[in-house]
Amino acid sequence: MTNRLQLDRFLPYRLSITSNLVSDRIAHAYESMFGLTIPEWRLVAVIAEVDAITQAEIGERTRMDKVTVSRAAIALVGRGLLERAPNESDKRSHLLSLSAAGRELYALVAPKALELEARVFARFTPAELEAFTTMLRRIDAAALEED
Distances (CA, A) of 80 to 42, 43, 64, 127: 16, 14, 22, 41
Which of DNA, its own copies, none interacts with 70 (beta carbon under 5 to 8 A by kind)? DNA
75 binds its own copies (CB under 8 A): no
**3-class DSSP assignment, residue 7:** helix
Report the residue number, 61 or 85, with the smaller CB distance to its own copies.
Answer: 61
Which of its own copies, DNA, none interacts with 65 (beta carbon under 5 to 8 A by kind)? DNA
Of 30, 32, 50, 54, the closest CA to residue 41 belongs to 30
Interface positions with DNA (CB under 7 A)? 20, 37-39, 54-57, 64-68, 70-71, 73-74, 87, 90-94
* Binding map of its own copies across residues 30-69, x = CB under 8 A, - = no contact: --------x---x--xx--x-----------xxx------
Alpha helices in the chain (DSSP H): 11-34, 38-50, 55-62, 66-78, 100-121, 126-144
